[in-house]
Amino acid sequence: MRNKDYYEIENREWLESLEYVIQNDDPTRVRELLSLLQYKAHKAGIVYRCPGNTPYINSIPPDKESPYPGSPELERRIKSLIRWNAMAMVVRANLESEGIGGRISTFASAATLLEVGFNHFFHGGDTGVADMVFFQGHASPGIYARSFLEGRLTEKDLLNFRQELRKDGGLPSYPHPRLMPGYWQFPTVSMGLGPIMAIYQARFNKYLEDRGLKEVTNQKIWAFVGDGEMDEPESLGAITVASREKLDNLIFVVNCNLQRLDGPVRGTGKIIQELEAAFMGAGWKVIKVIWGRDWDPLIAKDESGELLKAMDQTPDGQFQKYVVSTGEFIRKDFFGKSETLLKMVENYSDDQLRRLNRGGHDPRKIYSAFAEAVNHKEEPVVILAQTIKGYGLGETGEGRNITHQQKKLNENELLVFRSRFGIPLSDEDAKKAPFFKPADDSEEIQYLKKRREELGGFLPKRNMELKPVTLPEDSLYNEFFEGSGDRDLATTMSMVQLMSKLMVDKNIGKHVVPIVPDESRTFGMDALFRRFGIYSHTEPNYEPVDRESLLYYKEATDGAILEEGITEAGCMSSFIAAGTSYSNHKITMIPIFLFYSMFGFQRVGDLIWAAADARTRGFLIGGTSGRTTLAGEGLQHQDGHSHLLAMSIPSLKAYDPAYAYELAVIVKDGMKRMFSDGEDIMYYITVLNEKYKMPKMPEGVEEGILRGMYRIIKSKRNDGPRVHLFGSGAILNETIKAAAILEESYGIRSDAWSITSYKELYDNSMEVERWNRLNPEKESRKTYIEECLDGVDGLCLAASDYVKAVPMTVCNWFPGTLNVLGTDGFGRSDNRKALRDYFEVDAKHIAYAALTGLHIEGKLDNKTIVKAKKDLKINSNKPDPREL
């Protein structure tokens, strides 16, 4: 009869069999048996879904922990000093400048995780290849405080934290390479960007190795991230890339302090278990560091599994509550769940219960986890470490929901903090929150420096040397300057041709990194597949379905193209990794990221901002752009505003060229300025899929192309009213046609100008205007627009395939009123002709707007306008594209 006793015997037999294998064979054999069992049951129709979780205890059992190599006592003292100085930085900054902000509690929770890394794992670059560490942005005070002890930052630096505009400079709030270029490498403080950038950084490092551009080393990429931060789609969105690409150079450390800014990350759930399931499911090695050593004897005693059950079933919100609770409460609420549990802790005092430590504050547990992570092969590793937000901040800060915002400690709290961490300061001194650094020959400083010396030097540290590349011969660009003769071409095609030419250049060819999010065929890039290969870290093990065709989809371990799939965020992260390689690897790479322009700025604008912060260099190519140039695709595809968004990035050059020669001049300039002269800038260039004949480059227009405008047609007439038409991108051709209509049908003297970059014109105008404002005693300067239009009279009218706000940014510097046409409103699916009529940017609307402008200026009579309206077939009843 199968009853309870029978089951017990059966359980025991199975478990003993398993125990035998565990004792006598390796873990692979254990896993093999378990999966055979699952398979057998599955075939019998019994579906056993492997749980997404392991028990809520540490992944590494105590007897498998690595011995701790350092001096825990000394390290604790060093860490305490860092904690104190980090806290003092924030407190002092807020005393000096009320409301200046700063975060104490993030670092307070992460201190042990980081210190174990600094003392034992993070390699510096002085003697070998430096590891790359993405620090949790809000932990920056702790990183600065360590640099202070290391002697890299001064007391004045700390004092000026968050007060960068002081005469003697100050430290930026968060990791910003733009502001501290010799120090910070990775801008991480916009939540979610650190994790995704770290994944693609790890991937890019493999790319360099696989392509033979970089020696294979043990370099690791560490990403310290917040548990709240993991809610950002970017944080988890690319984790399968890391496992798919076998990124065993990547280690995530999630600081699970169970809190974010407002409150608990998962009050009613368990963030560690949730993340474990996600990462395990994605194929990562997961190491949980939940409990500190104090819990080991209790877990060892837990034969019945009741402790585990309590741990498993207690939600995070309640664990957060225990941080601020008395031992008495913990005994009643947590251990009081059963008699067995109460008995388990009967010999523990209330104080002992209150102090039971968490894994993320136990250096030994962390060390073991890190040691296992760095030696793990073939898979990325995530360490989920349970910590306490605001650890050590006393009654008001530790574990409280308000702790994230805490930036002040009262005198009593300062004394408590001082005593808890044993800082050798008198009461009187401690109340002033002074920075404290022991003498250089003290044990602490000697130890700390020695550890860093043995690990290869200080971190964070950003390399500022540049190895300029040998630029291609000028002749590479000639073909584009010559024009296309009778052939119709699109600038997208020209860009791809130009890129392929760069890719075979003898000096820089191997350094060009095309990046594309599943749009190669859209851009006509498929011809490059076979020639240059699509990068795959794993050896391709299949026969491409189109193997017989000329342009087959060729994946290769040394492929140059990063075909990232449909992820602009992933591409952008690769772009950043490649575009900062000149600094992070001392290998100059030339990223060219081609994307659907609509899915660039508005989709991944924050990553573009981070790229600028990181001093990334490279070309962003917004393909098939323009609200009326991209026919058929409609509202969510037609980009008529990326140039407005581009205006917001200070280090970005943004161009909207119409012709292949303009494009070539811009790319040539970018190559020189970024990769030879070493300017920390990026180029955004929109290219079009509309085909037309590319003219030969006129003499002497290069400067105008680069500075933003040049005259392309000068009227041959000497009489009649005068207009200047300014066109950009594909609308330049409409502008030129409009000039011809005005000349031929209305006797108007019409010049046509190409405006290649409103941003260049804007940046220059702002600079000149400011200079004039600040230098009234000197002769005033002219903006580039004013220089170009010096002595020019007549009506000015600008038209582009972008919103009217783009030309309006520079209207102040045009003579008289700048009339503007543009593509405000939602896009529509139709052909170009219909779209340009709808948005009123075709030749007839441009000509008509010029005529009405002249009428307003009193240079044409009303009769002419009414007739022109009829002749040009202008429909005044058509809908306004701005209307919804």
Ligand X SMILES: Cc1ncc(C[n+]2csc(CCOP(=O)(O)OP(=O)(O)O)c2C)c(N)n1
Residues at the contact surface with ligand X, assessed by CB under 6 A: 106, 109, 136, 138, 189-192, 226-229, 255, 257, 259-261, 265, 389, 404
Q: Least distance from C-beta 223 to ligand X, angstroms?
A: 12
Query: For ligand X, which is the closer residue by CB, 57 or 191?
Result: 191
Q: Which residues contact 465 (CB under 8 A, 6 or more apart)?
A: 586
Query: For ligand X, which is the closer residue by CB, 234 or 702?
Result: 234
* H or E element at residue 308: helix 306-313
**Number of DSSP helices (H) and strands (E) in the chain, helices first:** 37, 20
Query: For ligand X, which is the closer residue by CB, 260 or 627?
Result: 260
Q: Least distance from C-beta 141 to ligand X, angstroms?
A: 12
Ordered DSSP codes for 405-422: G-----HHHHHHHHHHTT
Query: For ligand X, which is the closer residue by CB, 133 or 741?
Result: 133
Q: Least distance from C-beta 89 to ligand X, angstroms?
A: 16
d(CA 818, CA 853): 10
d(CA 229, CA 265): 9
Query: For ligand X, which is the closer residue by CB, 393 or 560?
Result: 393
Direct distance between the N- and C-terminal alpha carbons of the chain, in angstroms, rounded to an integer: 76
d(CA 553, CA 705): 37
What angle, rounded to 10 degrees, do the helices at 105-120 and 140-150 form?
Answer: 50
Query: For ligand X, which is the closer residue by CB, 229 or 564?
Result: 229
Query: For ligand X, which is the closer residue by CB, 231 or 294?
Result: 231
Q: Are 686 and 626 in contact (CB under 8 A)?
A: yes
Query: For ligand X, which is the closer residue by CB, 109 or 588?
Result: 109
Give CA 300 to chain center in angstroms. 43
Which contacts qualify for 409-414: CB closer than 8 Å, 24 or more apart?
A: 409/87, 409/91, 409/433, 414/91
Query: For ligand X, which is the closer residue by CB, 173 or 819?
Result: 173
d(CA 529, CA 520): 9
Query: For ligand X, which is the closer residue by CB, 109 or 119?
Result: 109
Q: Least distance from C-beta 386 to ligand X, angstroms?
A: 12
Q: Least distance from C-beta 264 to ligand X, angstroms?
A: 10
Q: Which residues contact 563 (CB under 8 A, 6 or more apart)?
A: 516, 518, 520, 534, 535
Q: Least distance from C-beta 402 to ligand X, angstroms?
A: 12
Q: Are 376 and 244 in contact (CB under 8 A)?
A: no
Q: What are phi and psi of 191, to 5 degrees?
A: -55, 135
Q: Least distance from C-beta 138 to ligand X, angstroms?
A: 5
In this structure, what DSSP letter does residue 116 have? H
Query: For ligand X, which is the closer residue by CB, 188 or 638?
Result: 188
What angle, rounded to 10 degrees, do the helices at 4-24 and 27-43 form?
Answer: 140
Question: Left (φ > 0), alpha (ψ -120 to 50) or beta: where does 466 sit?
Answer: beta
Ordered DSSP codes for 72-83: HHHHHHHHHHHH
Give CA 825 to chain center in angstroms. 30
Q: Least distance from C-beta 110 to ligand X, angstroms?
A: 7
Q: Least distance from C-beta 271 to ligand X, angstroms?
A: 9
d(CA 206, CA 214): 9
Ordered DSSP codes for 45-101: T---PPPS---SS-SS-GGGPPPP-S-HHHHHHHHHHHHHHHHHHHHHHHHHSTT--
Q: Least distance from C-beta 256 to ligand X, angstroms?
A: 8
Q: Least distance from C-beta 124 to ligand X, angstroms?
A: 25
Amino acid making up residue 644: L
Query: For ligand X, which is the closer residue by CB, 190 or 314?
Result: 190
Q: Are 570 and 241 in contact (CB under 8 A)?
A: yes
Query: For ligand X, which is the closer residue by CB, 407 or 627?
Result: 407
d(CA 509, CA 469): 11
d(CA 764, CA 770): 10
Q: Least distance from C-beta 281 to ligand X, angstroms?
A: 21
Q: Least distance from C-beta 231 to ligand X, angstroms?
A: 8
d(CA 742, CA 728): 19
Query: Which residue's CB comes closest to ligand X?
Result: 226
Query: For ligand X, which is the closer residue by CB, 403 or 852?
Result: 403
Quickly list H helices, 314-465: 316-323, 327-333, 339-344, 350-355, 363-375, 394-397, 411-420, 427-430, 443-454
Query: For ligand X, which is the closer residue by CB, 27 or 99?
Result: 99
Ordered DSSP codes for 810-863: TGGGSSS-EEEE---S----S-HHHHHHHTT-SHHHHHHHHHHHHHHTTSS-HH
Query: For ligand X, which is the closer residue by CB, 136 or 205?
Result: 136
Q: Least distance from C-beta 646 to ligand X, angstroms?
A: 21
d(CA 133, CA 249): 12
d(CA 31, CA 418): 50
d(CA 436, CA 422): 12
Q: Least distance from C-beta 258 to ligand X, angstroms?
A: 8
Cα separation values, 127 from 134, 445, 446, Å: 21, 21, 19
Q: Least distance from C-beta 159 to ligand X, angstroms?
A: 24
Query: For ligand X, which is the closer residue by CB, 390 or 853?
Result: 390
Q: Least distance from C-beta 242 to ligand X, angstroms?
A: 19
Query: For ligand X, which is the closer residue by CB, 79 or 138?
Result: 138
Q: Least distance from C-beta 672 to ligand X, angstroms?
A: 35
d(CA 126, CA 152): 15
